[in-house]
């Protein structure tokens, strides 16, 4: 029996669950009506598996729903309270944000950007990042935000795949007091890309930069731009954004989200999970470059006219107390962060948060990776002072919004540390075995989603086949999440990590295939394999194995540095392995599949289990030899 905590906010709206159970399509139609539509949709859902059309024919605009609808009653309410790494803050009211967005949208139009064009945004965490996104959605351009910690090679790949006409960046961004020269990274990324017409450069650091004829300063672009720009009336299915995410193949997948369904999902979950009230100050620590930032920094809070904090820098910079300082300073009432950040704060000790006034907090959330029960309890006791519900929200880039979570906004249920509790109303999630049959309680299986839901991805950008294969082929006509989970005897869901070859390092998704293909593109490497092993802080860290080409005589230390540099350069610092082992062979099945399970066990000093149960019996001896060799070389290295 796991421990439970009876804490809620006193809300109990059992009608919502009841309605969702009788007819999920009509239920979501009712939720969608809470948004502002220019005209109603023809049909709520057209389900042509695996393609769902939510609210087709309805006319809507995301930027209009985030800004225009608040001008009557909330024009002077702060929308964004931006806290710079340096401590300076800037407040944008709903009116300020509305004007900035319209000006910038007119600026984009003056460069010829029209409905359907793609715009890549490579900006640090500054207000101009949401402004750019909302300006794109205002005129029907599809934004594709690339996390500003990604390398120029990763950025290039994404600009090329999306065929972006415009790239928006800044001279640089601050990270731990240092400047990252983003404009230089963009210049490198777009070499020989004629389809990129202009680079818009925001002056954040004012460090000298080189401008060419296709570069335009943000300030020049908006200088004479009119401050009124009518929102385009767009179809419910209009592509709002592409967000690239790692999958099990070498190439990142361009997850494509639509407008009406996505906004409906966010509007509902933001209210149900976070119980948002007009007086709240919401703070989600995610970078907007990831989906959490798209959904719960940009669209979710703004749809509700909420006041939120956007913080520019690292969570422990310049002091370990930075987050608590922000919460105290701005009287944050709802705080949403990751287990990795919480584990770090926990390590710094209780005296730090205990010396701040955190009394405005009333609800705490976690996202991105499984939260360990002891971390949950620390969050509940030390940060929430045993008066705030802690919600563990499970979802994915592909689901668009929260799918499993306790929902203090509508219901009070006992919380179990480490469990996401139950699926949200209107979605149908189950846990199945390899054959797709539901597993009994407390049995680990694959998490699948049986019905379409409004926030679901439309497809993968330009690749319907890959979309079918990645999500809808393991089990017939149901969505395969790639996650393991179990349901306990009380119907609570427990998320148990990835079932596929995707790693979660500090909450960031990294595909093993992407990393391996980067490694073998080093001239001395013949083969490689990577896996994740548990880590106290980051949840998981990357361990890499490399087989060198014949006659490579370099020292391992030199090679290790070269490979690490290459990964930092080609993918980004987040994908750097903690350890690289050089081996002469990798354990494989006879069919050639690398056995990561074995590598993981070996690297983690775990028992490798019974290899004789392997399907491919003939490969056992060879694997055992390889394993012994690996163990020997790891031991040598560690000594
Ligand atoms: C993992 C992040 C356990 C999971 C919103 C999922 C979680 C992947 C949780 C998606 C959670 C997310 N508990 N695991 N509360 N939330 N995950 O696309 O493996 O960056 O498949 O979206 O994160 O990662 P993504």
- Using CA positions, which residue lies closest to atom 25 of ligand 1? 396
Distance 241 CA to ligand 1 centre (A): 19
- Using CA positions, which residue lies closest to atom 7 of ligand 1? 369
| Ligand 1 atom, smallest distance to 366 CA | 15
| Ligand 1 atom, smallest distance to 371 CA | 13
Q: Is any atom of ligand 1 closer than 6 Å to the C-beta of 343?
A: no
| Ligand 1 atom, smallest distance to 398 CA | 18
Distance 296 CA to ligand 1 centre (A): 14
CA distance 457 to 462: 13
| 256 CB-near residues (< 8 Å, 6+ apart) | 239, 241, 242, 457, 458, 459, 460, 461
Distance 93 CA to ligand 1 centre (A): 32
Q: Is any atom of ligand 1 closer than 6 Å to the C-beta of 186?
A: no
The residue to which tokens 């395969």 are assigned: 480
What pLDDT was estimated at residue 612? 55
CA distance 113 to 140: 9
- Using CA positions, which residue lies closest to atom 15 of ligand 1? 394
Which residues partner with 429 through β-bridges? 449
Helical pair 620-638 and 596-603, crossing angle rounded to 10 deg: 30
Distance 423 CA to ligand 1 centre (A): 14
Q: Is any atom of ligand 1 closer than 6 Å to the C-beta of 399?
A: no
Nearest to 114 by CA among 96, 81, 138, 86: 138
- Using CA positions, which residue lies closest to atom 11 of ligand 1? 394
- List the Cα angle 35/41/43 in 5-degree steps: 125
Which residues partner with 241 through β-bridges? 143, 257
- Using CA positions, which residue lies closest to atom 12 of ligand 1? 368
Find out whether 110 and 137 touch, Cβ atoms under 8 Å: no
What pLDDT was estimated at residue 624? 60
C-alpha distances out from residue 79 to 105, 111, 219, 300, 302, Å:
19, 28, 22, 12, 7
Chain centroid to Cα 488, Å, comes to: 27
| Ligand 1 atom, smallest distance to 290 CA | 20
- Using CA positions, which residue lies closest to atom 24 of ligand 1? 396
Nearest to 335 by CA among 296, 364, 358, 305: 364
Helix (H) or strand (E) holding 327: helix 322-330
Find out whether 485 and 404 touch, Cβ atoms under 8 Å: no
Which 3 state secondary structure label does DSSP give 33? coil
Find out whether 258 and 456 touch, Cβ atoms under 8 Å: no
Which 3 state secondary structure label does DSSP give 5? strand
Pairing assessment for the beta strands 59-60 and 234-235 based on DSSP bridges: antiparallel
Q: Is any atom of ligand 1 closer than 6 Å to the C-beta of 575?
A: no
Q: Is any atom of ligand 1 closer than 6 Å to the C-beta of 158?
A: no
| Ligand 1 atom, smallest distance to 295 CA | 5
What pLDDT was estimated at residue 574? 92
Distance 362 CA to ligand 1 centre (A): 24
| Ligand 1 atom, smallest distance to 404 CA | 15
Q: Is any atom of ligand 1 closer than 6 Å to the C-beta of 369?
A: yes
Nearest to 143 by CA among 167, 161, 125: 167
Nearest to 244 by CA among 522, 96, 457: 457
CA distance 286 to 220: 30
Q: DSSP state, 590? A: T
Which residues partner with 51 through β-bridges? 48
What pLDDT was estimated at residue 69? 98
What pLDDT was estimated at residue 1? 59
CA distance 141 to 130: 14
| Ligand 1 atom, smallest distance to 245 CA | 18
Nearest to 412 by CA among 133, 13, 70: 13
Residues of the chain with pLDDT under 50: 613, 615-620
Pairing assessment for the beta strands 307-311 and 429-432 based on DSSP bridges: unpaired
Which 3 state secondary structure label does DSSP give 370? coil
Q: Is any atom of ligand 1 closer than 6 Å to the C-beta of 292?
A: yes
Distance 515 CA to ligand 1 centre (A): 19
Distance 504 CA to ligand 1 centre (A): 8
The residue to which tokens 């907090």 are assigned: 361
* Per-residue model confidence as pLDDT tens digits over 67-121: 999 999 999 999 999 999 999 999 999 999 999 999 999 999 999 999 999 999 9
Distance 369 CA to ligand 1 centre (A): 5
* Per-residue model confidence as pLDDT tens digits over 134-191: 999 999 999 999 999 999 999 999 999 999 999 999 999 999 999 999 999 999 999 9
- Using CA positions, which residue lies closest to atom 23 of ligand 1? 368
Find out whether 180 and 172 touch, Cβ atoms under 8 Å: yes
- By most ligand atoms within 8 Å of CB, the mutation choice from 244, 295, 394 for ligand 1 is 394
Q: Is any atom of ligand 1 closer than 6 Å to the C-beta of 294?
A: no
- Could you please state the CATH topology (level 3) that the domain comprising 502-638 is classified under: GMP Synthetase; Chain A, domain 3 (3.30.300)
Nearest to 366 by CA among 409, 395, 327: 395
Residue 612: burial class (beta carbons within 10 Å; 0-12, 13-18, 19+):
exposed
- By most ligand atoms within 8 Å of CB, the mutation choice from 247, 504, 532, 534 for ligand 1 is 504
- List the Cα angle 202/206/208 in 5-degree steps: 105
Q: Is any atom of ligand 1 closer than 6 Å to the C-beta of 509?
A: yes
| 30 CB-near residues (< 8 Å, 6+ apart) | 19
Find out whether 86 and 322 touch, Cβ atoms under 8 Å: no
- Using CA positions, which residue lies closest to atom 13 of ligand 1? 370
Q: What are phi and psi of 435, to 5 degrees?
A: -90, 0
| Ligand 1 atom, smallest distance to 292 CA | 5
Which DSSP string corresponds to 105-164?
HHHHHHTT--TT-EEEEE--SSTHHHHHHHHHHHHTPEEEE--TTS-HHHHHHHHHHHT-
Distance 444 CA to ligand 1 centre (A): 17
Q: Is any atom of ligand 1 closer than 6 Å to the C-beta of 365?
A: no
Q: What pTM did the predictor assign?
A: 0.94
Q: Where are the alpha helices (DSSP H) in 169-217?
A: 182-189
Find out whether 486 and 442 touch, Cβ atoms under 8 Å: yes
Find out whether 142 and 169 touch, Cβ atoms under 8 Å: no
Q: Is any atom of ligand 1 closer than 6 Å to the C-beta of 394?
A: yes
Which residues partner with 53 through β-bridges? 46
């Amino acid at each position: 029996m796991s421990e439970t905590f009876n804490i809620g906010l006193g809300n109990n709206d059992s009608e919502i669950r009841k309605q969702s159970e009788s007819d999920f399509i009509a239920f979501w139609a009712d939720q969608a009506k809470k948004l502002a539509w220019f005209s109603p949709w023809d049909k709520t859902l057209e389900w042509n598996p695996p393609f769902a059309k939510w609210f087709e024919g309805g006319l809507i605009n995301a930027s209009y729903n985030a800004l225009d609808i608040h001008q009557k009653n909330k024009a002077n309410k702060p929308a964004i309270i931006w806290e710079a790494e340096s401590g300076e803050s800037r407040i944008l009211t709903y009116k300020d944000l509305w004007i900035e967005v319209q000006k910038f949208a007119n600026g984009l139009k003056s460069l010829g950007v029209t409905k359907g064009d793609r715009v890549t945004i490579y900006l640090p965490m500054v207000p101009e990042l949401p402004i750019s996104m909302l300006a794109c959605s205002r005129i029907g351009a599809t934004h594709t935000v690339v996390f500003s910690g990604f390398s120029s090679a990763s950025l290039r790949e994404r600009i090329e795949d999306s065929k972006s006409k415009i790239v928006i960046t800044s001279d640089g961004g601050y990270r731990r007091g240092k400047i990252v020269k983003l404009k230089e990274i963009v210049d490198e990324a777009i070499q020989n890309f004629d389809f990129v017409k202009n680079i818009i450069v925001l002056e954040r650091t004012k460090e000298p930069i080189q401008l060419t004829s296709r570069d335009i300063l943000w300030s020049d672009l908006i200088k004479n731009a009119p401050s009124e720009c009518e929102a385009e009336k767009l179809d419910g299915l209009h592509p709002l954004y592409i967000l690239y995410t790692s999958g099990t193949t070498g190439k990142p997948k361009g997850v494509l989200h639509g407008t009406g369904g996505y906004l409906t999902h966010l509007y509902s979950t933001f209210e149900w999970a976070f119980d948002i009230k007009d007086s709240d100050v919401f703070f989600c620590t995610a970078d907007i470059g990831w989906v959490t930032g798209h959904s719960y920094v940009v669209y979710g809070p703004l749809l509700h006219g909420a006041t939120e904090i956007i913080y520019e820098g690292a969570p422990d910079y310049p002091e370990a107390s930075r987050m608590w300082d922000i919460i105290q300073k701005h009287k944050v009432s709802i705080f949403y962060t990751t287990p990795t950040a919480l584990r770090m704060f926990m390590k710094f000790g209780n005296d730090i948060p205990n010396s701040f006034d955190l009394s405005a907090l009333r609800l705490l959330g976690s996202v991105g990776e499984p939260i360990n029960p002891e971390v949950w309890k620390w969050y509940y006791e030390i940060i929430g002072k045993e008066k705030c519900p802690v919600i563990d929200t499970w979802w994915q880039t592909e689901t668009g919004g929260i799918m499993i979570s306790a929902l203090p906004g509508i219901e009070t249920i006992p919380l179990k540390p480490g469990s996401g509790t139950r699926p949200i109303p209107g979605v149908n999630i189950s846990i199945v075995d390899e054959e797709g049959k539901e597993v009994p309680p407390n049995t680990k299986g694959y998490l699948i989603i049986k019905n379409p839901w409004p926030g679901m991805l439309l497809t993968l950008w330009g690749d319907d086949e890959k979309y079918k294969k990645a999500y809808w082929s393991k089990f017939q006509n149901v969505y395969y999440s790639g996650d393991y989970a179990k349901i306990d005897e009380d119907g609570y869901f427990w998320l148990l990590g990835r079932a596929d070859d995707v790693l979660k390092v500090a909450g960031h998704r990294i595909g093993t295939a992407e990393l391996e293909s980067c490694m073998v593109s080093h001239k001395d490497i013949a083969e490689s394999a990577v896996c994740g092993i548990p880590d106290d802080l980051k949840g998981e860290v990357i361990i890499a194995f490399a087989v060198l080409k014949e006659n490579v005589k370099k020292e391992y230390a030199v090679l290790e540095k070269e490979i690490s540099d290459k990964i930092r350069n080609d993918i980004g610092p987040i994908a750097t392995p903690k350890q690289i082992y050089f081996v002469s062979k990798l354990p494989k099945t006879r069919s050639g599949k690398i056995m990561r399970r074995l590598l993981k066990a070996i690297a983690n000093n775990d028992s490798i289990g019974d290899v004789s149960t392997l399907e491919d019996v003939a490969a056992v001896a060879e694997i055992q030899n390889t394993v012994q060799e690996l163990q020997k070389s790891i031991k040598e290295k560690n000594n």
